[in-house]
Amino acid sequence: MKHQAKSIIWSDYQKTIPADGFYYLRSCIRQNFFPGSERAFLQIMQNDLGKDVFDDPKHTTCTGIAYHSDLLPFETLQTVVARQFALMSEAGYRNLAVSCVTSFGIYSEVLETWKEFPDEMEKARTYLRKATGRELAIPENVAHCSDIFYHFRNEIAARLQYPLINGETGQPLKIVEHIGCHYAKMFPGKGVGGAEFSCVLSGMIEAWGGEVVDYPERRHCCGFGFRQYLIMANRGYSVSNSKKKFESMEPYRPDAIICNCPGCTMFLDKWQYTIGELEGKTYGGEGRGIPVLTYEELAGLALGYDPWDLGLQMHQVDCEPLLQKMGIKYNPGLKYRGLKGEDLGKPVIPNCFNRAVHSF
Amino acid sequence: MSKPKKVITIGGGVAGTEVSSLLAELGYDVTLIEKNSQTGGKLNGWSHLFPTGRPAAQVAEFLQHKVQRNSFKTICQTDVSQVVFGNGSFLVKTSGDERLPADAVVISTGFDIFDATRKEEYGYSVYENVITSVDLENRLKAGAPITTAAGNKPCRIAFIHCVGSRDEKCGNHHCSKVCCVTGVKQATELAKQLPQAEIFCFYMDLRMFGLPYESMYREAQEKYNIQFIRGRLSEAAENADGTLQIKAEDTLSGRPLKMQVDLVVLLVGMVPGKNTAHMADLFELQREPNGFLQTEDPHLFKNRSSRKGVFLAGTCTGPMTVDETLDHARSAALDIHHYLQNK
């Protein structure tokens, strides 16, 4: 593989990412499944990098899941999006920092629609005014939060306490990156590096000392696909897509998977358990799964944040082997302790994973 | 006796050399301007021509022989930088600061090869075992054995038709016409060279428009066991050992298909040349929506441009085979001859 050729392709897909002043739009599901990620984003941006990011309690879901499930008319979606934009403007911001890849796709799609069909924008403006009394404003910049970390990857690298190096071997950690489909497949020009050889996550991995695993099913969907998982009868299709990816990456023996999409992180993490239960198959070696992290969690670990503050105990696949490889100092005894030290209770170790290698 | 009338030909490929030779033979004062270091165009890189399998060098030599026999001025490594329009005449300025008067001008700037890196999903220039039909043709011409990047004999080879042609995403709606038969020709050549190899051609339509082409297609299947699969490739990806995983939908069986191959050949089509676009701007010529130069009448005056005195020859007007290019150049010479005689 000629890596230099990739950088030529990347040069066609560079986007403007603002240096400061972001209005933060959260995901509606990430705080349930990976509860430390968004907090880590805010802490890294505000405390480590000293950036102005406004976390507004007034904003809502983008309605993306309902929209992609055909439960919500496009007009309603546009009006909700218009409200988010109005809130941004009212708060005195012009740049959106979007936590979720589905939302990023939604905001991009609505803005493109308004560009192509100005009448739609006028309708949304009217609906917004009638429903809320607010005035529509168009953001100057829409960046996914992974774009922003990519933009500041070298600043983050300068502060690393635990680079992505295997402490035992001294070799770079081998990391699979998975880009959510709605990040760049809908609008390749809106993703860093385009859709086929997107470099938003690989750029972070390399800047922080790791090695990117390029495997044949790299571009394949994680299996999330709204219609696949929302309807129970279709979930086998969802699992089979994830399995296709795991089978393809397994020979490379990756140390971790990182994602920039809530759904991808969730399904690549939780379907490993499902496949383990269904087929007795695990992909991380020695009866383990492959740890799946969000890019914020990975950045947080590398910056020295406590893994339990990052919420890694909430992952289906145990992340402790990765912590040990990175040489991270952590207290296993605090894994299932609450903020006040209370016992949260330990989960049952699934039969599919090798109990002998798990610390709990 | 009056001085011979002056003709300037811009572009010295198959069409440009042929039209210049014929006009010189008819007694005109011809100057050929070529941007490369030698004439002959892309033909110089081709190995064998369909449907006969004749070495391309034979045709190139034939053209070169005519050039030498009908000696006319050839200026290589030169571009046209400016044109001044007179009353029925032209003054062409070159990048070499020459000022050349002309009574008629022939545009024969040819075509460009579609840049396969634009089909990013196929990984050309990223994956070492993804090559184009032009790369393959150059290798065949060089006489080198066809191997993978690691130097091994490929056991499975996939040809991908219509790369950059009839492709809305690339902005190319036109059919490049010659790629189908080129694919059949190249697949057959590889089958002869690598009889143990499995060869697959992924196509959406096979447009065997020339009389002998259908026989070539039949022979490829019956004699050389080349398998034709109706389906466009969705993506190629590299395996750890450098082999390639390709995905397509077999639209005849209606099923998705995944295959491991050692070599992928992208059949890249003809697109309007950058130089053709430049000439269209300089001479203020009309272009078709696909970017090729517009002829005055697609049935009756296929060598005339939208500007009087500026004639068109060859693939600057659209995709053509070598034979068709020669025919088009010859008809251009005749049309220019009539034009200059009546001027």
The pLDDT-based confidence of B144 (bands split at 50, 70, 90) is confident
C-alpha dist (Å) from residue B137 to B42, B44, B140, B143, B264? 11, 11, 5, 10, 14
Burial A117-131 (b: 16+ CB within 10 A, else e): eeebbebbbebbeee
- Tens of pLDDT, residue by residue over B273-332, are 999 999 999 999 999 999 999 999 999 999 999 999 999 999 999 999 999 999 999 999
pLDDT band at B200 (very low <50, low <70, confident <90, very high): very high
B256 touches chain A (CB under 8 A): no
Residues B262 and B123 in one domain: yes
Match 């993306």 to its residue by tokens: A64
Count the neighbouring beta carbons within 10 Å of the beta carbon of residue A341.
7
> In the prediction, which pLDDT does A291 show?
97
pLDDT in tens, chain A (360 residues): 777 777 788 778 889 999 999 999 999 999 888 999 999 999 999 999 999 999 999 999 999 999 999 999 999 999 999 999 999 999 999 999 999 999 999 999 999 999 999 999 999 999 999 999 999 999 999 999 999 999 999 999 999 999 999 999 999 999 999 999 999 999 999 999 999 999 999 999 999 999 999 999 999 999 988 888 888 898 999 999 999 999 999 999 999 999 999 999 999 999 999 999 999 999 998 889 999 999 999 999 999 999 999 999 999 999 999 999 999 999 999 999 988 889 988 888 777 776 555 554
Work out the burial of residue A212: count CB atoms within 10 Å of its CB; fewer than 13 is exposed, 13-18 middle, 19 or more buried: buried
Question: Does the pLDDT value for residue B79 go beyond 90?
Answer: yes
d(CA B56, CA B39): 14
Distance from CA of A174 to the nearest CA of B (A): 14
Q: Do B117 and A216 touch (CB under 8 A)?
A: no
The predicted pLDDT at position A356 comes to 55
| pLDDT confidence of residue B124 | 96
CA–CA gap between residue B43 and residue B234 (Å, rounded): 31
Q: Tell whether B92 and B212 lie within a shared domain.
A: no
Residue B307 is predicted with a pLDDT of 95
Q: Are residues B176 and B102 in the same domain?
A: no
Answer yes or no: do B337 and B315 share one domain. Answer: yes
A253 has a chain B CB within 8 A of its CB: no
Q: B278 is in which domain, residue-wise?
A: 6-110+273-341
The answer to the question of residue B1 being in a domain is no
Whether residues B82 and B195 fall in one domain: no
Segments of A167-243 assigned E as strands: 174-178, 211-213
What is the rounded CA–CA span in Å between residue A108 and residue A64? 12
Regarding the domain delimited by A15-145, which CATH topology (the fold level of the hierarchy) does it fall under? Glutathione S-transferase Yfyf (Class Pi); Chain A, domain 2 (1.20.1050)
CB B121 within 8 A of CB A196: yes
Strand partners, B160: B202, B266
Report, in this order, helix, strand and coil percent for chain A, each rounded to 5. 50, 10, 40
> Does any CB of chain B come closer than 8 Å to the CB of residue A252?
yes
Q: Are residues B70 and B102 in the same domain?
A: yes
Residues B72 and B160 in one domain: no
A150-209 residues touching B, CB cutoff 8 A: 194-197
Which amino acid is present at A293? L
A-interface mutation test, from B119, B124, B126, B235, most A Cβ less than 10 A away = B126
Q: How many domains does chain B have?
A: 2
Query: Which burial class, exposed, middle or buried, applies to A116 when counting CB atoms under 10 A from its CB (0-12, 13-18, 19+)?
Result: exposed
For A72, the 3-state DSSP assignment is coil
Residue type, B91: L
A47, amino acid identity: N
Please name the residue of chain B whose CA is at the shortest distance from the CA of residue A248.
B239
Task: Tell me how far apart the alpha carbons of residues A279 and A256 are, in angstroms, rounded to a whole number.
Answer: 21
Q: Is A254 on the interface with B (CB under 8 A)?
A: no
Distances (CA, A) of B204 to B26, B79, B163, B229, B231: 45, 39, 11, 8, 6
Mean pLDDT in residue range B35-50? 95
CATH code, domain with B249: 3.50.50.60
Could you tell me if B74 and B174 lie in one domain?
no
Residue A6, min C-alpha distance to chain B (Å)? 6
Average pLDDT, chain B: 95
Q: What is the rounded CA–CA span in Å between residue A205 and residue B87?
A: 66
d(CA A99, CA A102) in angstroms, rounded, equals 9
Which residue carries 């890849």 as its tokens?
A101
Give DSSP secondary structure letters for B44-98. Answer: GG--EETTTTEEHHHHHHHHHHHHHHT--EEE-S--EEEEEE-SS-EEEEETTS-
Size of interface A-B (CB pairs under 8 A): 40
Q: Which among A6, A216, A252 has the least Cβ separation from residue B126?
A: A6
Chain A residues near residue B120 by CB distance under 8 angstroms: 9, 194-197
SS3 B323: helix
| Neighbouring C-beta atoms of residue B236, cutoff 10 Å | 25
Nearest CA in chain A to B119: A196
ipTM of this complex > 0.90? Answer: no
Beta pairing partners, B245: B237, B260
In a 10 Å sphere around its CB, with 0-12 CB exposed, 13-18 middle and 19+ buried, how is residue B208 labelled? middle
Q: What integer is the mean pLDDT of B190-218? A: 96
Let me know whether B261 and B123 are in one domain.
yes
Residue at a domain's end among B237, B269, B301: B269
Per the CB < 8 Å rule, is A2 touching B128?
Answer: yes
CA nearest A360: which of A310, A285, A308? A308
| 8 Å CB contact of A8 and B238 | no
Distance from CA of A213 to the nearest CA of B (A): 10
In a domain, B284, yes or no: yes
Asked whether residue B85 falls in the same domain as residue B31, the answer is yes
Residues A194/A229, Cβ–Cβ less than 8 Å = no
- DSSP, collapsed to helix, strand or coil, labels residue B235 as strand
Give pLDDT, residue A360: 45
Top residue of A1, A7, A176 to mutate, by most chain B CBs within 10 Å, is A1
In the chain, the amino acid numbered B77 is Q
**Which class is domain A155-357?**
alpha beta
Indicate if B139 and B230 belong to the same structural domain: yes
Cis peptide bond prior to B51, omega within 30° of 0: yes
CA dihedral of A278, A284, A289, A293, whole degrees rounded to 10: -140
CA A291 to chain centre: 14
Q: Model confidence at B197, in pLDDT bands (50, 70, 90)?
A: very high
**Tens digits of residue pLDDT in A54-103:** 999 999 999 999 999 999 999 999 999 999 999 999 999 999 999 999 99
Q: Does B281 touch chain A (CB under 8 A)?
A: no
The tokens describing A344, both together, are 């949260």
Could you tell me where the DSSP H helices lie in chain B? 14-25, 56-69, 133-142, 179-193, 213-222, 274-282, 322-341
Residue type for position A154: N
Cross-strand partners of B75: B33
Q: CA angle, corner B120, sides to B119 and B121, nearest 5?
A: 95
Last residue of a domain, one of B238, B269, B300: B269
Any domain includes B204: yes
pLDDT per position as a tens digit, A200-249: 999 999 999 999 999 999 999 999 888 888 888 989 999 999 999 999 99
Q: Specify the pTM.
A: 0.90
Q: How far is A204 from chain B (nearest CA, A)?
A: 21
Cα separation values, A168 from A91, A175, A206, A306, Å: 49, 16, 19, 21
What per-residue confidence (pLDDT) applies to B2?
A: 78
- Of A298, A262, A69, nearest to A180 by C-alpha is A262
Q: Mean pLDDT throughout B236-249? A: 96
Pairing of strands A174-178, A292-294: unpaired
Contact B76/A at CB under 8 A? no
- Cβ distance A226 to A65 under 8 Å? yes
The full set of domain ranges for chain A reads: 15-145, 155-357
Return phi, psi of residue B49, to 5°: -105, 140
- What residues contact residue B31 under an 8 Å CB cut-off, 6+ apart? B6, B7, B8, B9, B72, B73, B74, B75, B100, B102
The fraction of chain B above a pLDDT of 70, given in percent, is: 100
Question: How far is residue A125's CA from residue A111's CA, in Å, rounded to a whole number?
Answer: 13
Residue A171: strand, helix, or coil = coil
CB contact under 8 A, B128 and A1: yes
Taking an 8 Å cut-off on Cβ atoms, the answer to whether B125 and A8 are in contact is yes
Same domain assignment for residues B31 and B106: yes
* CA–CA distance, B58 with A265 (Å, rounded to integer): 61
Which distant-in-sequence residues (6+ apart) come within 8 Å of B156 by Cβ? B197, B198, B199, B200, B259, B260, B261, B262, B263
Residues 6 or more apart in contact with residue B25 via CB below 8 angstroms: B66, B70
